[in-house]
């Protein structure tokens, strides 16, 4: 089965450090989402792309978060500088369009100490 | 703006009993609706979706959901719960390009 690959699966970092999370969408999928999951806030939409162009990143704290798609096989989410409140599981999802639903990766569990 | 409300953060049923997880949505345009399931330490898996056409949709693992426009609801049901159904379930709505989730309902299945 085709799958969305996220790396790393786990990341522990110190406050103030830069964190980069990567996502390899399913080949041929042109839509990529980034979500953050916490106990308190649930699943929050951070940003999404279509055909590598950012459509909406209003869910991201702009001062420290950035999301890019350098090519069709890679999406990145960067936090600089990281803070303890960024600790969460970050999910990437990809798809063709909403008619088909979207496939999620296994997530990156980030802990900022 | 689109949004989803899932009634009941925790639902507990006995094995073999009916499962009913409630979802209400708001959307300014005809919505596409989804149910996802999440097992511990895993990503979300698509259970079923409503796009257009038949309002009763069947998904994997014996689940189904009915889209009721008049009630703005998309409740998830399963006639007989199995222990393996214990997980967190998320309802989601997409009205154009993005997809927004409800807060989730944790389903516990008692032996």
CB contact under 8 A, B98 and A48: yes
DSSP string, B88-108: EEEEEEESSS--EE---EEEE
- Smallest CA–CA distance, residue A25 to chain B, in Å, is 14
CB contact under 8 A, A43 and B49: no
Per-residue confidence (pLDDT) for residue A112, from 0 to 100:
98
Per-residue confidence (pLDDT) for residue A4, from 0 to 100:
97
Per-residue confidence (pLDDT) for residue B91, from 0 to 100:
97
In chain A, % of residues over pLDDT 90: 87
pLDDT in tens, A70-110: 999 999 999 999 999 999 999 999 999 888 889 999 999 99
Nearest to B103 among A42, A48, A93 (CB): A42
Contacts of B106 by beta carbon, 8 Å cutoff, 6+ apart: B9, B10, B11, B87, B88, B89
- B90 to chain A: nearest residue by CA? A43
Judged against a pLDDT cut of 90, whether residue B71 lies above it is answered with: yes
Average pLDDT, chain A: 94
Per-residue confidence (pLDDT) for residue B29, from 0 to 100:
83
pLDDT in tens, B20-39: 999 999 988 888 999 999 99
Per-state percent for chain A, helix, strand, coil, to nearest 5: 5, 55, 40
């Amino acid at each position: 089965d085709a799958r969305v690959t996220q790396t790393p699966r786990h990341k522990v970092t110190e406050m103030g450090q830069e964190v980069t999370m990567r996502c390899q969408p399913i080949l041929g999928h042109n839509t990529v989402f980034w979500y953050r999951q916490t106990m308190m806030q649930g699943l929050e939409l951070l940003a999404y792309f279509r055909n590598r162009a950012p459509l909406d990143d209003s869910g991201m704290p702009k001062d420290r978060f950035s999301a890019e798609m350098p090519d069709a096989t890679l999406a990145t989410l960067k936090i600089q500088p990281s803070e303890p409140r960024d600790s969460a599981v970050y999910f990437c999802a990809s798809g063709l369009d909403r008619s088909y639903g979207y496939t999620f990766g296994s997530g990156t569990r980030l802990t900022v100490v | 703006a689109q949004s989803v409300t899932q009634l009941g953060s925790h639902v507990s049923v006995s094995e073999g009993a009916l499962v009913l997880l409630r979802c209400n949505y708001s959307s300014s345009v005809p919505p596409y609706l989804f149910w996802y399931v999440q097992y511990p330490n895993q990503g979300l898996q698509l259970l079923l979706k409503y796009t257009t056409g038949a309002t009763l949709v069947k998904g994997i693992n014996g689940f189904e959901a009915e889209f009721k426009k008049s009630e703005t609801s998309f409740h998830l049901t399963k006639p007989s719960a199995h222990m393996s159904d214990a997980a967190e379930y998320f309802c989601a709505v997409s009205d154009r390009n993005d997809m927004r989730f409800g807060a989730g309902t944790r389903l516990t299945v008692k032996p």
